[in-house]
Amino acid sequence: MAKLNVGIIGAGGMGKVHAAAYRTLPDVVVAAVSDTDRARGEALATEVGAQYVADYHDMFDRVDAVSICLPHTLHRAACEAATAAGKHILCEKPLATTVADCVAIVAAAQSARVLLMTGLTHRFLPENVRVKELLDAGAIGDVVMAQDTILAGLPAAGLGWRGTLALAGGGVFMDNGVHAVDRLRWWLGSDVVWVAGRVANRLHISEGEDTGQALLAYANGAQATVTQSRAVTRPASTSVTDLIGTQGVIRVHSWGDVQIARAGATAWETVPVTRTRSGHEGEIAEFVAAVREGRPPSVSGEDGAVAVETVLAIYRASEHGAVVHLPLQ
């Protein structure tokens, strides 16, 4: 297609990010914006030269694809409406907040023969892509263990809807933890077979958990710890992963540098990272390319469903104080 018309469903923070990323691509037009907050929706529509519609159903006759940037528990309804209209979908993470909803979304997209991509943007951060290249090239041998930590500072304006279970469907693991479990699965090239963990609401800044740790065991024999917090003092905010292999260690800071300690080395080596676009720009570019080429996107709806299932397993493990095996029954 010469021109791709896209719609933004949800004009909050992520809606604005998606709209800006689409506008960096040739022959892509943000044609419609929908939000229940009229002032917010109209503001973004005016900024990008799009039509504002209060009800997202009213945009389907003017777009080829949509970005769904709504609160988590609203994803299924919007995805099913878009698939019924035959529109390709980029749905922000998490794909949904229950296994049943994830399964329904994936099935609806398959039945309608539309593309479904989950917005797991960490797979498109240049430094994380470089790590994947190093691992695939055997730079540190086989990964036997990983430590993944995301410590998020509390936003000055508070969490908003992300602090409510009715709209967020969980706490920090549902919001940020999906990134951790997805990028680990991607880097290690293996599925999680069981989890153990403990989550807690210690600071009471939200209805969901604000802190937690999990142990993940993989089919290939590797294991990983996942540490999450959403309320550290802001100077302590970080997103860092150590990947420990049989021949060395890779350390990556999201939005930062990549280092490697090779077997026999006496110091860390900094690995060059090429930064030509942001993670969201890379994600949007992949979605547009997949639509134009008629191929599955590199991050699928199924990938999004697996990430949610892993987070839900961590919740179950914490609730029962027991190891939980995957897939969930």
Q: Residue 304 falls within a domain, yes or no? A: no
Pair (181, 50) in one structural domain: no
How far are the Cα atoms of 109, 150, 154, 266 from residue 261, in angstroms, in the given order?
43, 22, 33, 8
Pair (134, 246) in one structural domain: yes
- Count the domains in the chain: 2
Q: Residue 196 falls within a domain, yes or no? A: yes
Report the mean per-residue pLDDT for the chain. Answer: 97
Pair (143, 103) in one structural domain: no
Predicted pLDDT at 154: 83
CATH number of the domain where residue 55 is located: 3.40.50.720
The length of the chain is 329
Predicted pLDDT at 308: 98
Q: Residue 251 falls within a domain, yes or no? A: yes
pTM for the model stands at 0.97
pLDDT digits (tens, 9 = 90+) for 43-59: 999 999 999 999 999 99
Pair (17, 113) in one structural domain: yes
Q: Residue 175 falls within a domain, yes or no? A: yes
**Three-state DSSP class for residue 246:** coil
Q: Residue 12 falls within a domain, yes or no? A: yes
Q: Residue 185 falls within a domain, yes or no? A: yes
Predicted pLDDT at 329: 78
Give residue 260's identity as a one-letter amino acid code. Answer: I
Pair (100, 134) in one structural domain: no
The residue behind tokens 């023969």 is 113
Q: Residue 35 falls within a domain, yes or no? A: yes
Predicted pLDDT at 231: 83
Question: What is the pLDDT averaged over residues 9-36?
Answer: 97
Pair (141, 116) in one structural domain: no
The parent domain of residue 32 ranges over 4-122+280-299
**φ and ψ of 291, to 5 deg:** -65, -45
**φ and ψ of 132, to 5 deg:** -60, -40
Pair (96, 23) in one structural domain: yes
pLDDT digits (tens, 9 = 90+) for 234-284: 899 999 999 999 999 999 999 999 999 999 999 999 999 999 999 999 999
CATH number of the domain where residue 236 is located: 3.30.360.10
Give residue 16's identity as a one-letter amino acid code. Answer: K
**φ and ψ of 121, to 5 deg:** -70, -20
Pair (100, 22) in one structural domain: yes
Predicted pLDDT at 118: 98
Chain-centre distance of CA 1, in angstroms?
A: 28
Chain-centre distance of CA 208, in angstroms?
A: 18
What share of the chain has pLDDT > 70, as a percent? 100
pLDDT digits (tens, 9 = 90+) for 163-218: 999 999 999 999 999 999 999 999 999 999 999 999 999 989 999 999 999 999 99
Pair (319, 285) in one structural domain: no
Q: Look up residue 28 and give its two tokens.
A: 């892509």
Query: Which residues, 6 or more positions from 242, have their beta carbon under 8 angstroms from its beta carbon?
Result: 146, 147, 249, 250, 251
Residue 34 has pLDDT above 60, yes or no: yes
pLDDT digits (tens, 9 = 90+) for 150-167: 999 888 778 999 999 999
Pair (99, 149) in one structural domain: no
Predicted pLDDT at 253: 98
Predicted pLDDT at 4: 97
How far apart are the C-alpha atoms of 126 and 272, rounded to whole Å? 10
Q: Residue 253 falls within a domain, yes or no? A: yes
pLDDT band of 325, cuts 50, 70, 90: very high
How far apart are the C-alpha atoms of 294 and 303, rounded to whole Å? 19
Question: What is the pLDDT averaged over residues 100-110?
Answer: 98
Pair (291, 198) in one structural domain: no
Pair (44, 173) in one structural domain: no
What angle (nearest 5°) sits at the alpha carbon of residue 320, between those of residues 318 and 326?
75
Predicted pLDDT at 69: 98
Least confident span in 17-26, 151-160, 221-230, 300-309: 151-160
pLDDT band of 1, cuts 50, 70, 90: low
How far apart are the C-alpha atoms of 319 and 198, rounded to whole Å? 8
